[in-house]
Amino acid sequence: MCYHGDIIDFPIGELLDDSICTIWLERYLHLGECRCPRCGSPKRRLFREQQYFPAYRCRACDGYYTLRTGTVFEKTRQRPATLVLLLREIAKGEPTARLARELGVSRKQLHTLRQRIQANVNATAPLEVMAGSAFEADELYQNAGEKSTPHRNPADPPRRCANQRKGHGTYANDRPPSSV
């Protein structure tokens, strides 16, 4: 545990098992089956351990590869537990500086990994329009418009700034957001 001012960082990467994280990475980075990047064959044999990850030789073309080959983590030397935590914390929106301290990785290297991951997510995002008429969103912030911009509809005046009237608002005097 490390203390920085009023923030406590936990070295959670040391608490996770690398073998379980390796299985998780294979399942999600390679959709369950790691294939040879040269010929695409799923047939492989264990060649040796290479920096926490097993290295394989393809039985078809004798190509050499690891689980990181062909992914955004191809040239990293991080433990499997660190990579799993990195993906988890980026998905949660954790700041790079704090994440770098907790994982024991340089901030510059973590920033580069984060950019690679985000570029990969953007490149593989679906482009087709979603079908249906109702969708669910967890958090939605609706912009009420510019306060100084006059409204075109005189029956729908702009909302007033808070705390101009005494007392609390009630259900009766509140208006739902307008749908323009």
Mean pLDDT by 10 residues, the chain (180 residues): 53 72 84 82 82 85 86 85 88 88 88 90 84 74 56 68 58 63
* Token pair belonging to 98: 């704090």
DSSP H/E element including 50? strand 44-50
pTM of this prediction?
0.60
For residues 123 and 89, give the distance between their C-alpha atoms in angstroms, rounded to a whole number: 20
Q: Residue 155: in which H helix or E strand, if any? A: none
